[in-house]
A and B are shown apart, each in its own frame.
Chain A
């Protein structure tokens, strides 16, 4: 792959421009402003285009929530209106589904916070028999395709004669929510200087006091961030939930049904926009909490 894509149509004197860009792109090359490399224009344009491409569909959702057209997905929208918002908010089934999603997310997050933190506390330092296996096992809920987890849980439920319902949904969600919380908390705990705990004990604090005064304040933001991410993930979950929900309807399941048999396109559009905004909040919150730390927040999904 060339170091920058070929200059687009209409770029003047591509060879000269490329040579100049090469010279400017090298760190410390003469002509580079203050030693900071200047990006070749084509690269910059491509990068920006890539990012815009990522956001175009989302912007479209926002647009379609206001269109007056209610039978098709016509573009450009013939007109704009706020009418659909009223209609969507009047729909009982949407509120029920949303309520269930919130309840499930809250339950899964609570479980995840407790179990994930306990796991992180055991794993962040030191070795013990079985630690590598456990670390590997903890990557599975995120690494394995959702369909595998879903069908595994469903067949286990059938085997144990457990009928699908709210609890099974929570159980399915909790499994990967635990991993999300664990990733965040363990990363934070590992960054704790090891001497802090020793210093606290040296000064007279036992394990419980050390946790209360030294460890918890440091880990609090990671816990909160993990919890927010887990909540967002659970709220949005569809792949595993379709297997474990039975007749229950979370908001994503409601949405999924709409996609197959659209009842009311404009209402679906409104719900899409609202869901997008609502799930953006916890994620942004988690990002701020981890100090905009690259990796800590992203580490949840990846």
Chain B
């Protein structure tokens, strides 16, 4: 290692004196302290949010879970705070309860499929063919209903589906009144009117969650790089094959992400089925009723774990099936 080279003298005179060392003010000293002690800085930043999140949010979730392991004493009607599986047993043991779960899951599945079928062409068009202004317009057009007021949208469907409303009017004008009556007479989906039938509930759910399915699907489709499609065509695949073998698998994570929303949102919703649909209960309605008028918080808590467990299982299954591989 050679010693430093011969020092060069500056050809211009040196500038003003270096580092006029005024002692650093308190703010600077604090800044330096936090800079040096990164963990302390992080703790300071995270303490208030965690104080909020921890006890308030996480705590109440935990409390709810704990509640589901308590039970309600049949005679006194009050909650017995001893751990027991009694409540869960009541949940799965009662045919009525299982009915509710089945009804909700069936609805969620139907809604998910419908949303996927409707959303995919829309997302596909927006991702593949819409450019510049059109694409931005599309995005805005899908986003605005997403953020529009939930209750207003449900109310709008009440208007739509009312017996004297626009849907009936449309069917009558097209001379399809009989067809509509036939549908309403059908066993599972029908009812006294559209707004008091499972079909009505299904329509409202599909409408409400459609943007939740369109946006992730579109995002996933947009992420498919054009060179992949060109390579597929170059290797001899016709458009249909390219679609089935390249585009669809790559778009799957988006569809799955959307389906998690539609599934989860339908499983837990208690407002829509009570405003549009048959008297039959859904899981969310059970939760609402049990913790309210029925005073059976443990049962409500037990019911509320069902959507969470189902969605978690769904996600695990999707991962296993490789639907999320392209992520």
In the complex, are there CB atoms of A and B closer than 8 Å? yes
Contact B63–A46 (Cβ < 8 Å): no
From A3, A38, A51, A268, contact of B141 by CB (8 A): A51
| Residues 280-302 of chain A, each 1 if its beta carbon lies under 8 Å from chain B, else 0 | 10011001000010110110011
Instruction: Check B85 for interface membership: any CB of A closer than 8 A.
Output: no
**A147 lies within 8 A of chain B by Cβ:** yes
B63 touches A151 (CB 8 A): no
Residue of B with least CB distance to A256: B151
Please give the distance in Å from A97's CB to the nearest CB on chain B: 12
Residue A217 interfacial (CB < 8 Å): no
Q: Is the CB of A146 within 8 A of B268?
A: yes
- A selection of 18 A-B contacts at a CB cut-off of 8 Å is A26-B233, A51-B122, A51-B141, A54-B211, A57-B153, A58-B148, A73-B165, A122-B45, A140-B57, A141-B57, A148-B64, A152-B61, A155-B60, A155-B64, A236-B151, A243-B291, A260-B275, A276-B152
Q: Which residues of B contact A75 (CB under 8 A)?
A: 159, 164-166, 168-169
Question: Please, which residue of chain A has its CB at the minimum distance from the CB of B117?
Answer: A1
Interface residues on A, range: 35 or more
Question: CB-defined interface of A23-39 with B at 8 Å, one 1/0 digit per residue?
Answer: 00111100000001111
Which residue of chain B is the closest to A298 with respect to CB atoms? B215
In the bound complex, do residue A1 and residue B248 qualify as a contact, i.e. CB atoms below 8 Å apart? yes
A37-76 contacts to B (CB < 8 Å): 37-39, 43-44, 46-47, 50-51, 53-58, 60-61, 64, 72-76
Instruction: Give chain A residues whose Cβ lies under 8 Å from the Cβ of B48.
Output: 114-115, 118
For A1, A175, A256, A301, which residue has the most chain B Cβ atoms within 10 angstroms?
A1
Given A64-B159, A156-B63, A159-B63; A47-B145 close (CB under 8 Å):
no
Question: CA–CA, A58 to B155, complex, Å?
Answer: 10
Using A151-B291, A156-B63 as known contacts, say yes or no to A239 and B271 having CB atoms under 8 A apart: yes
Instruction: Assess whether B267 is in contact with A145, with CB atoms less than 8 Å apart.
Output: yes
A271 to B236, CA, bound (A): 58
The answer on a CB contact under 8 Å between B239 and A22 is yes
Contact present for B162 and A50 (CB under 8 Å): no
Extra A-B contacts (15), CB below 8 Å, given A1-B248, A50-B122, A75-B159: A22-B239, A54-B142, A55-B144, A56-B160, A57-B207, A111-B52, A118-B48, A137-B53, A138-B53, A140-B57, A147-B269, A151-B64, A175-B53, A206-B35, A298-B215
Name the A residues within 8 Å of B151 (CB-CB): 236, 238, 252, 255-256, 259
Which residues of B1-56 have CB atoms within 8 Å of chain A's CB atoms? 27-28, 30-32, 34-35, 38-39, 42, 45-46, 48-49, 52-53, 56
Q: List A203-221 residues whose CB lies under 8 Å from chain B.
A: 206-209
Q: Which residue of A lies closest to B156 (CB)?
A: A57
Give the segment of B95-103, B126-134, B176-184 that binds chain A. B126-134
Given A57-B157, A64-B159, A145-B265, is A51 in contact with B304 using a C-beta cutoff of 8 Å?
no
A5 at the interface (CB under 8 A from B): yes
Pairwise interchain contact A60-B122, C-beta atoms closer than 8 A: no
Determine the distance from Cα of A260 to Cα of B243 in the docked complex, in whole angstroms.
Answer: 47
* Chain A interface mostly: helix
Chain A's nearest CB lies how many Å from the CB of B260? 8
Inter-subunit contact B147/A232 (CB<8 Å): yes
A71 to B243, CA, bound (A): 52
Q: How far is the CA of A158 from the CA of B81 in the complex (A)?
A: 14
Residues in B lying within 8 Å of A, measured CB to CB: 27-28, 30-32, 34-35, 38-39, 42, 45-46, 48-49, 52-53, 56-61, 63-64, 67, 118-122, 124-126, 128-129, 131, 136, 138-160, 162, 164-166, 168-169, 207, 210-212, 214-216, 219, 226, 229-230, 233, 238-240, 243, 248, 261, 264-265, 267-271, 275, 284, 287-288, 291, 297, 300-301, 304, 307-308
B28: nearest chain-A partner, CB-CB: A206
Whether A145 and B264, one on each chain, are in contact in the complex, defined by CB atoms closer than 8 angstroms, is yes
Closest residue to B218 on the A side, CB-wise?
A294
| Chain A residue nearest in CB terms to B270 | A147
Determine whether the beta carbon of A207 is less than 8 Å from that of B287.
no
- Cα A159 to Cα B67 in complex, Å, equals 10
Q: Report yes or no: B152 in contact with A272, Cβ–Cβ below 8 A.
A: yes
- Classify the secondary structure of B's interface with A: helix
Tell me the bound Cα distance from A102 to B239 in angstroms: 53
Are B308 and A54 neighbours in the complex by a CB distance under 8 Å?
A: no
Complex CA–CA separation, A247 to B155 (angstroms):
23
Chain B residues within 8 Å of A47, by CB:
121-122, 124-126, 138
User: Contact: A3 with B138, CB < 8 Å?
Assistant: no
Query: A222 at the A/B interface (Cβ < 8 Å)?
Result: no
Q: Contacting A39 at CB < 8 Å: which of B30, B57, B125, B243? A: B125
- Closest Cβ of chain A to B304, distance in Å, is 5
A238 B152 Cβ-Cβ under 8 A: no
Residues of B within 8 A of A280 (CB): 144, 147-148
**Nearest CB of chain B from residue A185's CB, rounded to whole Å:** 12
Nearest Cβ distance between residue B314 and chain A, in whole angstroms? 13
How far, in angstroms, from A151 to B301 measured CA to CA in the complex?
8
How far does the alpha carbon of A168 sit from the alpha carbon of B288 in the complex, in Å? Answer: 18
Among candidates B49, B118, B284, residue contacting A178 with C-beta atoms closer than 8 Å: B49
Q: Please give me the residue from chain B that is nearest to A273 by CB atom.
A: B152
Determine the chain B residues whose CB is within 8 A of the CB of A242 once the complex forms.
288
- A50, A57, A209, A298: the one within 8 Å of B118 (CB): A50
Contact B270 A143 (CB under 8 A): no
Instruction: List chain B residues, Cβ under 8 A from A44.
Output: 125, 129
Chain A residues positioned under 8 Å from B269 (CB to CB) = 145, 147, 239
A143: chain B residues at CB < 8 Å are: 264
Q: Which residues of chain B are within 8 angstroms of A166 by Cβ–Cβ distance?
A: none
Please, how many angstroms separate the alpha-carbon atoms of A209 and B24 in the complex?
Answer: 13
* A14–chain B nearest beta-carbon distance, Å: 15
B45 and A118 form a contact (CB under 8 A): yes
Contact B307 A287, beta carbon cutoff 8 Å: no
